[in-house]
Amino acid sequence: MTGPSSGSNRQKLDGGAAGTGQRGGIRGFLGEPATGPARWVLALAVLGAVMGASLSLRNVLLDYSWFPQAVLACALTLLLPALTRRYPRLNHLAPIAALLGWFMGLTLAFFPGTAYLGLIPSASTIKAAVALASEAGASILVSNTPVPADPGIAFIICAGLGFTALLIDTLAVTVALPAASALGIALILLPAALTTQDGVGASGFIGAAGGYLLILGCCRWYAPEGQLRPAANRAASGTLGRAAGLGAAVVVVMMLASVFLPGFSSGTFPQGSRLGSPGNVSGLDPMISLGNDLRSQSTAINMSYLTDAPEPLYLRMSTLEDFSGKTWKPSPIPAGLSDNLSDLRPAFGANSAVPQVTTTTMVSVLDLSSTWLPAPLSTTSVESLRGQWKWNPSTQTISGNDTTADQSYVVVSQMPELTPELLDAATQKPDNRLDPIFSKLPNNVPAIIKTTAEQVSEGQTTPYGRAMAIQDYLRSSAFTYSVKTPVQEGYDGAGMNVLAKFLEVKSGYCIHFSAAMAVMARELGIPSRIAVGYAPGTPNQETGSVNGVDLTGYQVAGRDAHAWPELYFEGLGWVPFEPTPSRGDVPAYAQEPSTDTSRPNNNDLLNGANSRPTSAPATAPTSKAATTPATAAAVEATPQHARISAGVVAVVLALVVAASPAFTRILVRRRRLALVRGASPGRKGTGRPGKQKDPRDSPEALAWRELSASTIDYGYSYDSALTPALQAERMAALLGESSSRDVYRVRSAYENVVYGPPGADSPVGRDDLADALERIGSRLAQKATTPARIRAVVLPPSLFNNRQ
Amino acid sequence: MHPRETLTEAGTPENVAVPARGQANATTRMTAERFAQLSSEIMTAMNTVIDGKQEAVALALTVLLARGHLLLEDVPGVGKTLLAKTLARTLDCSVSRIQFTPDLLPSDITGVSIYNQQDQSFDFRPGAIFANLVIGDEINRASAKTQSALLESMEEHQVTVDGTTYGLSEPFMVIATQNPIEMEGTYPLPEAQRDRFMARISLGYPDTTAELAMLESHQWVNPLDAIRPVATTADVAAMLEVVAATHVSAAVKEYTVALGGATRNSDQLRLGASPRALLQLLRAAKASAALAGRGFVLPDDIRELAEPVLAHRLIVERKAASMGVTAADVIADALARIPVPAQPAGSSPNSTSGTSSGLAGAAARRAARAR
């Protein structure tokens, strides 16, 4: 009679004493429950490691409001497997329990209302989760770090941390490879390392390292070889001293290594440059991210400002002027810029004879984190700014080593009062000291751009006339504004081919219009650049006054992100244009003369100047731009625009996760075989009793474990109630006649070391053992069917069966 | 000091040569080759008499080398007595045979003090138990009182009569037979008595080939006549020393204790394995390992001997018995469930692999350690 049937008989028979019978039945099925605190200690260690490593997200997220939810999700993810491990026979189900715990933890933390009992996810929970995740995906695409911990982001963070907890728990406890839990901890550090300026940060690093040590220590003490034990091992005397010595040696080596090896100060890890070049509006390609910002139509208020200009202002952040390659890029920030923001002058500004209007603007940034300062064109001074910011006179931009988050500052700017007549008079050739990057074009500009520019500007003699012709052409009804068409047609961005396509399709958004105008202007000999920033926002009700001048309040939202061209006119400096239809406002000087008077409200919007007519004589410009342009000194770092789509990262991560069992198994096998072969067969007499004392690591025991693992991989079902001899018999049956001798070797060596008297000589040499194992491995692969082989490699069952 | 002639009403001494005790201790440890040669000679000799019962023969030898006692239980006519006699013949040692009857008295077994009128004193007349090999035929025919007379001699290898304790010669082994079918006029062995027997064997019918061979060879000739002793008492004592020196690892002890615990915790058993049972199981396993030419005990030895050593001591619950569950089933069930400990020697004593077996298990462990 077999076990289960007799068990059921007993159940029926017991009748009256159902309680004890029930317990006996469960116990018979589940095995004896494990005792001792080991499983709880391990769960706490994993929780500590995950939460410690999650401190690195300090720079990724604005605050720690997500932390309690993350603790909840991770704790539930770890609680269920810990409960499961009460019964050793259920050990291999722990990952599944962790998965359930993960679901339940996320449900409890985020959607308790939609779930049964607040824990068990329902269909509406899944719907809500998908909605939240897609919301988070959108905000990840459009925001720069640090991002606010809105529910979507917090959900993604908690889900990620919970999953990592699952991974670490499986690796460290179920698979008994605590060292491999570094993989999970590194996953937590990745977001900070890849997306933030400050990297992981000291607290995150200390948290991750401490958590890792915690896992290693607890696993060593409470679950050596993956077997939970009732009480902790005593640390052997001298362990602390050895650990301290080793740690000190590692620190010294790393300090020396960092001097000689590249990558410590300039690499991605731990504190070097980020993938996204510093200084962009976003970590990604500024063009793409701008498009994303526009498409998201985010109504979140990024900043608000009070200005004494009668009309709202364009706020510039950075510029794109380098069109030497395939696309528009920002030029490198020259070294040696001054951080004095009191008396700012552009490298090539307007002639001092041109009448100028002074504008004062108070900007409060609410929800924008950038290293570029939003400011109107022709800034002359910035006050009450936190951190160190530098003025680049060549591009008239201000960049800093701090971010704009929560900054509040006052900008004073001086714009020349521009009129069409004035501009029309600016016919001189551009100063040849002007940085050639503003007029440089690559050799292979598509012909359509040049021909279009020439056709459009035919008959115009002055640079201003040509510029107006291009702007009018782009604003004509032939072109339509659409943020979606370029994405659908696949020409998003500002590359050359994109521009050619844009001129054919005649649909796009500000990037395409401004880039097209800038390139066409360069084709016609006018230096140009693209300013990136925000279009004028919408008025809000705030008012204020500075020095008796009334200020009007405006607010700028994410959807107001904008790009526009700036063209250089000798004697007048850089003049903004607005080629994008239905966006922003066309400045007065850039309007058709006939419409000039009919729309007085839009006058000189860009300048922030009053639209009063001026009769300033078009005096011959005297090039007064004597201030030394920032000589292009040693380039600090070439900004690279690594366009890493989230999809690629996800696919790579998925592949890594999918391949990790295979790699783990291969590593385990290689380690065991190397240990079986060992360094010196005569180790026994070398006076290292501490090494010899632990026979669990003896080559014979390792060889046996490896034999079991490799046969389990190929479908052998290990029964822990069978003796080694019986196991070997069944393994040999699986392997076939030719391998029975090898199996016998491994088995007899194992029996000798496990059941034989201590110190007895092994009947089989270590090399013979390893050779036998290798023959058995190849024999197994040779005998198995292809699906079985694939399963053995990709998802080795031996990793998930700990009862060997 | 031991009298040469021993006659009781039911006992028939077949061999009266009793060597002095302690003679074997003087010899040095027997080599493994000599042990293997002797054991194979004994088994070959026995197999010429008993056809097709190699396992039973090996088990009988195992019990002898483990200093245990053997209970042969089967229907009449399958060679129980023959097996006992053959084992006695192959060894050059004293043998006495007791035919158990309802009127057999304890003093017939242990001996009696008789008043000597010449010396005006009591002389002790040793009973049938004073021999190296005692064959007790149909042991369950004697009354419980008489059966109990065996208890002390079997467990402690000594006899106490009238307050005087007499030691028994070594090796000492009782081979008892009983007939399980015939219940009329029998006294079933009490639990305490059964627990004294190391192993119980059911011989069973021989297979066709063996039976044909038996019919051929046993027609007119008594095969026992052809048997010459192959081992002396000193040889057997030396073999016992080899067995005693066999190594038992902590893992095997754990396995044994886990098995005992499983029988005690089983809901299908009224009585589980006693600590003595586990001790005897381990001793039998040592003998089995030595016979297999191994210097250490494997869990396989425990597995193979578990049923013969434990089954006759276990009492199945009446309900389970009515369902057809036998003690052998329970043991097989336990063996299929208990994980084989793989912790090699020298590992932490804390790691008893979660097979705690309560107070009784701890006692068994203590007993196992105490030996």
> How far is it, in rounded angstroms, from Cα A747 to Cα A743?
6
How far does the CA of residue B86 sit from the closest CA of chain A (Å)?
33
CATH of the domain at B183: 3.40.50.300
Given a cut of 60, whether residue A584 has pLDDT beyond it is yes
Q: Which of A524, A515, A514, A512 is nearest to A454 (CA)?
A: A524
Given this model, what pLDDT does residue A599 score?
A: 37
Encoding tokens for residue A15? 């009748």
> From the candidates B264, B266, B330, B347, which should be mutated to test the interface with A, based on the most A CB atoms within 10 A?
B347
Picking from A229, A721, A760, the nearest residue to B338 by CB comes out as A721
Residues B267 and B342 in one domain: yes
- Specify if B10 maps to a domain: no
Given this model, what pLDDT does residue B285 score?
A: 92
Residues B204 and B70 in one domain: yes
Given this model, what pLDDT does residue A29 score?
A: 65
Rounded to the nearest integer, the mean pLDDT of chain A is: 74
- Specify if A612 maps to a domain: no
Q: What is the pLDDT of residues A761-773, one digit of tens each?
A: 777 778 888 888 8
> How far is it, in rounded angstroms, from Cα A92 to Cα A33?
15
More confident residue, A643 or A454: A454
Cα of A253 vs its chain's centroid, Å? 30
Residues A211 and A301 in one domain: no
Place A786 in a pLDDT band, splitting at 50, 70 and 90: confident
- Specify if B15 maps to a domain: no
Preceding amide of A446 cis, omega within 30: no
Place A333 in a pLDDT band, splitting at 50, 70 and 90: confident
As a whole number, mean pLDDT of residues A195-202 equals 70
Q: Is the CB of residue B63 less than 8 Å from the CB of residue B280?
A: no
- Specify if B17 maps to a domain: no
Encoding tokens for residue B242? 């080899």
Place B286 in a pLDDT band, splitting at 50, 70 and 90: very high
Q: Provide DSSP, B310-359.
A: HGGG-EE-HHHHHTT--HHHHHHHHHHHSPPP-PPTTS-TT--TT---HH
Alpha helices, DSSP H, located in A506-621: 510-523, 593-596
How far does the CA of residue B308 sit from the closest CA of chain A (Å)?
18
As a whole number, mean pLDDT of residues B294-317 equals 88
Give chain B's length. Answer: 371
- Specify if A19 maps to a domain: no
Given a cut of 80, whether residue B327 has pLDDT beyond it is yes
Residues A328 and A182 in one domain: no
- Specify if A620 maps to a domain: no
- Specify if B6 maps to a domain: no
As a whole number, mean pLDDT of residues A482-497 equals 66
Q: Is the CB of residue A124 less than 8 Å from the CB of residue A114?
A: yes
Give the DSSP H/E element, type plus range, for residue A218: helix A201-222
User: What chain A residue is nearest to B339 in terms of C-alpha separation?
Assistant: A721
* Contacting residues of B for A698, CB less than 8 Å apart: 344
CATH of the domain at B283: 1.10.8.80
**Residues contacting residue A129 through CB under 8 Å, at least 6 positions apart:** A106, A110, A111, A121, A155
Q: What is the pLDDT of residues A708-723, one digit of tens each?
A: 888 888 888 888 788 8
Given this model, what pLDDT does residue A645 score?
A: 57
Of A42-51, A226-235, B59-68, B143-152, give the lowest mean pLDDT range. A226-235
Residues B254 and B111 in one domain: no
Given a cut of 60, whether residue A414 has pLDDT beyond it is yes
Given a cut of 70, whether residue A114 has pLDDT beyond it is yes
**Residues contacting residue A321 through CB under 8 Å, at least 6 positions apart:** A328, A330, A331, A395, A435, A437, A438, A528, A529, A530
Given a cut of 80, whether residue A4 has pLDDT beyond it is no
Given this model, what pLDDT does residue B281 score?
A: 92
- What are the strands of the beta sheet with A561-569, ordered from one edge? A315-320, A528-534, A561-569, A573-576
Q: Is the CB of residue A169 less than 8 Å from the CB of residue A98?
A: yes
Preceding amide of A146 cis, omega within 30: yes
User: What chain B residue is nearest to A696 in terms of C-alpha separation?
Assistant: B344
Residues A567 and A666 in one domain: no
Given a cut of 50, whether residue B345 has pLDDT beyond it is no
Residues B177 and B230 in one domain: yes
Of B188, B214, B240, the last residue of a domain is B240
As a whole number, mean pLDDT of residues B253-266 equals 89
Given a cut of 60, whether residue A139 has pLDDT beyond it is yes
Place A591 in a pLDDT band, splitting at 50, 70 and 90: low
More confident residue, A268 or A136: A136
Given a cut of 80, whether residue A278 has pLDDT beyond it is no
> How far is it, in rounded angstroms, from Cα A229 to Cα A444?
71
Given this model, what pLDDT does residue A275 score?
A: 38
User: What chain B residue is nearest to A756 in terms of C-alpha separation?
Assistant: B296
Of B221, B240, B259, the last residue of a domain is B240
CB contact under 8 A, A753 and B351: no
What's the Rg (C-alpha) of chain B? 21
Of A602, A637, A665, the last residue of a domain is A602
- Specify if B8 maps to a domain: no
Of B188, B216, B240, the last residue of a domain is B240
As a whole number, mean pLDDT of residues A521-541 equals 84
Cα of A324 vs its chain's centroid, Å? 29
DSSP state of B138: T
Place B353 in a pLDDT band, splitting at 50, 70 and 90: very low
- Decide: residue A790, CB within 10 A, 0-12 exposed, 13-18 middle, 19+ buried: exposed
How far does the CA of residue A225 sit from the closest CA of chain B (Å)?
11
Encoding tokens for residue B257? 């204790």
Of A111-120, A183-192, A465-474, give the lowest mean pLDDT range. A111-120
Given this model, what pLDDT does residue A422 score?
A: 82
More confident residue, A148 or A758: A758
Q: Which of A716, A774, A713, A720 is nearest to A745 (CA)?
A: A774
Given a cut of 60, whether residue A269 has pLDDT beyond it is no
Place A326 in a pLDDT band, splitting at 50, 70 and 90: low
User: What chain A residue is nearest to B297 in terms of C-alpha separation?
Assistant: A755
Q: Is the CB of residue B239 less than 8 Å from the CB of residue B38?
A: yes
Q: Which of B57, B53, B130 is nearest to B90 (CA)?
A: B57
Residues A293 and A226 in one domain: no
> How far is it, in rounded angstroms, from Cα B371 to Cα B285?
15
Rounded to the nearest 10 degrees, what angle do helices A38-54 and A201-222 cross at? Answer: 170
Regarding beta strands B199-201 and B70-73, do their DSSP bridges make them parallel or antiparallel, or are they unpaired?
A: parallel
More confident residue, A25 or A125: A125
Inter-CA distances, A395 with A332, A731, B111, Å: 11, 75, 123
Given a cut of 50, whether residue A13 has pLDDT beyond it is no
- Specify if A758 maps to a domain: yes
More confident residue, B343 or A695: B343
**Residues contacting residue B45 through CB under 8 Å, at least 6 positions apart:** B86, B89, B90, B227, B228, B230
Host domain of residue B337: 246-370
Residues A195 and A296 in one domain: no
- Specify if A690 maps to a domain: no
Residues B234 and B116 in one domain: yes
Residues A208 and A296 in one domain: no
| Residue corresponding to tokens 């539930």 | A76
CATH of the domain at A326: 3.10.620.30
> How far is it, in rounded angstroms, from Cα A697 to Cα A489?
62
Residues A291 and A157 in one domain: no
Q: What residues of chain B have any CB closer than 8 angstroms to a CB in chain A?
A: 247, 249, 251-252, 265, 267-268, 295-300, 303, 319-320, 323-325, 329-330, 333, 335-340, 342-348, 350-351, 353-356
Residues A651 and A567 in one domain: no
* Contacting residues of B for A20, CB less than 8 Å apart: 267
- Decide: residue A83, CB within 10 A, 0-12 exposed, 13-18 middle, 19+ buried: middle
Encoding tokens for residue A670? 């290689």
How many domains would you assign to chain A?
3
Given this model, what pLDDT does residue A138 score?
A: 67
Residues A431 and A313 in one domain: yes
Residues B53 and B180 in one domain: yes
Of A419-428, A608-617, A729-738, give the lowest mean pLDDT range. A608-617
Rounded to the nearest 10 degrees, what angle do helices B250-265 and A740-755 cross at? Answer: 90
Which three-class secondary structure state does DSSP give residue A685?
A: helix
> How far is it, in rounded angstroms, from Cα B309 to Cα A348?
106
Residues B295 and B153 in one domain: no
Give the DSSP H/E element, type plus range, for residue A68: helix A67-84
Given a cut of 70, whether residue A685 has pLDDT beyond it is no
Given this model, what pLDDT does residue A783 score?
A: 81
- Specify if A416 maps to a domain: yes
CB contact under 8 A, B346 and A694: yes
- Specify if A242 maps to a domain: no
- Specify if B12 maps to a domain: no
Of A602, A619, A635, the last residue of a domain is A602
More confident residue, B183 or B101: B101
Given this model, what pLDDT does residue A291 score?
A: 60
CB contact under 8 A, A88 and B345: no
Residues B171 and B46 in one domain: yes
How many domains would you assign to chain B?
2
> How far is it, in rounded angstroms, from Cα A394 to Cα A346?
6
Give the DSSP H/E element, type plus range, for residue A185: helix A182-195
Given a cut of 50, whether residue A563 has pLDDT beyond it is yes
Q: Which of A581, A471, A450 is nearest to A519 (CA)?
A: A450
Q: Provide DSSP, B214-241.
A: HHHHTSSS-GGGG----EEHHHHHHHHH
Q: What is the pLDDT of residues A511-521, one digit of tens each?
A: 788 888 888 88
The percent of chain B in helix, strand and coil, each rounded to the nearest 5, is 45, 15, 40
- Specify if B319 maps to a domain: yes
Given this model, what pLDDT does residue B368 score?
A: 42
User: What chain A residue is nearest to B322 in terms of C-alpha separation?
Assistant: A13
Residues B39 and B186 in one domain: yes
| Residue corresponding to tokens 């020439």 | A454
Could you tell me how many CB contacts below 8 A there are between chain A and chain B?
114
Picking from B296, B338, B354, the nearest residue to A34 by CB comes out as B354
More confident residue, B25 or A171: A171
Residues A386 and A531 in one domain: yes
Given a cut of 60, whether residue A267 has pLDDT beyond it is no
Q: Which of A221-225, A477-481, A800-804, B130-134 has the highest mean pLDDT?
A: B130-134
Given a cut of 80, whether residue B41 has pLDDT beyond it is yes
Q: Is the CB of residue B284 less than 8 Å from the CB of residue B273?
A: no
Rounded to the nearest integer, the mean pLDDT of chain B is: 78
As a whole number, mean pLDDT of residues A244-262 equals 77
- Specify if A344 maps to a domain: yes
Given this model, what pLDDT does residue B371 score?
A: 40
- The dihedrals phi and psi of A115, each to the nearest 5 degrees, come to -100, 160
> How far is it, in rounded angstroms, from Cα A324 to Cα A441?
6
Place B282 in a pLDDT band, splitting at 50, 70 and 90: very high
As a whole number, mean pLDDT of residues B140-145 equals 83
Q: Is the CB of residue B141 less than 8 Å from the CB of residue B36?
A: no
Q: Provide DSSP, B55-84.
A: HHHHHHHHHHHTT--EEEE--TTSSHHHHH
| Amino acid letter, residue A628 | T
pTM for the model stands at: 0.47
Residues A70 and A195 in one domain: yes
Picking from A1, A696, A726, the nearest residue to B325 by CB comes out as A1
Given this model, what pLDDT does residue B26 score?
A: 40
Of A210, A232, A254, the last residue of a domain is A232
Residues B251 and B189 in one domain: no
| Residue corresponding to tokens 């943020």 | A483
Residues A667 and A730 in one domain: yes
Residues B145 and B186 in one domain: yes
User: What chain B residue is nearest to A29 in terms of C-alpha separation?
Assistant: B337
Residues B265 and B366 in one domain: yes
Host domain of residue A211: 29-232
